[in-house]
A and B are shown apart, each in its own frame.
Chain A
Amino acid sequence: MKQIDAVQKRLLQEVADLHEIPEGAYNLRANGESVGRNTTANIDIQTKTEGSGIDIRIKPGTKKESVHIPVVLSESGLKETVYNDFFIGEDSDVLIVAGCGIDNCGTQDSQHDGIHRFYVGRNAKVRYVEKHYGSGDGSGKRILNPVTEVYMEEGASMEMEMVQIKGVDSTRRTTLAELKQDAKLVVRERLMTHGQQTAESVYKVSLNETGSSADVVSRSVARDVSFQKFDACIVGNAACTGHTECDSIIMDSGRILAVPSLEANSIDAQLVHEAAIGKIAGEQLVKLMTLGLTEAEAEEQIISGFLK
Chain B
Amino acid sequence: MLQLNSLSFTANADGKDAEIIRDLTLTLHDNQFIVITGPNGGGKSTLAKLIAGIEKPTAGQILFDGVDITDMSITERARLGIGFAFQQPVRFKGLTVFDLLRIAAGKTLSLSDACNYLAEVGLCAKDYIHREVNASLSGGELKRIEIATVLARNVRLALFDEPEAGIDLWSFQNLIRIFENMQKTDRNRTIIVISHQERILNIADEIIVLADGRITKQGTREQILPDIIGTNYAQNPCQKMV
Contacts and interface: CB of A to CB of B under 8 A. Distances in A.
Interface of A: 219, 247, 281, 283-284, 286-295, 301-302, 305-308
Given A247-B93, A292-B78, A294-B75, 17 more contacts: A219-B94, A281-B90, A283-B90, A288-B103, A289-B73, A289-B78, A290-B54, A290-B78, A290-B83, A290-B84, A291-B78, A291-B100, A291-B103, A291-B149, A292-B75, A301-B99, A305-B92
Contacts of B92: 284, 302, 305
Contacts of B125: none
B75 A286 contact: no
12 contacts: A281-B90, A286-B54, A286-B90, A289-B73, A290-B52, A290-B54, A290-B78, A291-B103, A291-B106, A292-B104, A301-B99, A302-B94
Given A283-B90, A289-B75, A305 B96 contact: yes
Contact of B153 (A286, A292, A302, A305): A292
A301 B75 contact: no
B99 A291 contact: no
A290 B74 contact: yes
Interface string B74-92: 1100110011101001101
Contacts of B94: 219, 302, 305-308
Interface string B90-122: 101111100110011010000000000000000
- Considering residues A295, A301, A305, which has the most beta carbons from chain B within 10 angstroms of its beta carbon? A305
A293 B103 contact: yes
Interface of B: 52, 54, 73-75, 78-79, 82-84, 86, 89-90, 92-96, 99-100, 103-104, 106, 149, 153
B93 A287 contact: no
B34 to A, nearest CB: 19
A247 B94 CA distance: 11
A291 B73 contact: no
A283 B149 CA distance: 16
Contacts of A307: 94
A287 B85 CA distance: 9
Contacts of A295: 75
A292 B90 contact: no
Nearest to B52: A290
Contacts of A288: 103
Contacts of B75: 289, 292-295
A292 B104 CA distance: 7
A286 B74 contact: yes
A286 B73 CA distance: 10
A247 B134 CA distance: 13
- Considering residues B74, B79, B86, B96, which has the most beta carbons from chain A within 10 angstroms of its beta carbon? B74
Nearest to B79: A292
Nearest to A249: B93
Nearest to A292: B78
Nearest to A287: B90
A305 B99 CA distance: 8
A291 B54 CA distance: 12
A75 to B, nearest CB: 37
A282 to B, nearest CB: 10
A302 B73 CA distance: 19
A48 B151 CA distance: 61
B139 to A, nearest CB: 15
A283 B55 CA distance: 12
A301 B90 CA distance: 14
A284 B86 CA distance: 11
B95 A302 contact: yes
Contacts of A289: 73-75, 78
Contacts of A290: 52, 54, 74, 78, 82-84
Contacts of A294: 75
Contacts of A308: 94
Contact of A306 (B74, B89, B93): B93
Contacts of B149: 291
Contacts of B93: 219, 247, 305-306
Contacts of B153: 291-292
Nearest to A306: B94
Contacts of B82: 290
A308 B84 CA distance: 27
A108 B177 CA distance: 67
A293 B102 CA distance: 12
A293 B153 CA distance: 12
A283 B75 CA distance: 14
B33 to A, nearest CB: 20
Contacts of B54: 286, 290
Contacts of B74: 286, 289-290
B38 to A, nearest CB: 23
B149 to A, nearest CB: 6
A286 B79 CA distance: 14
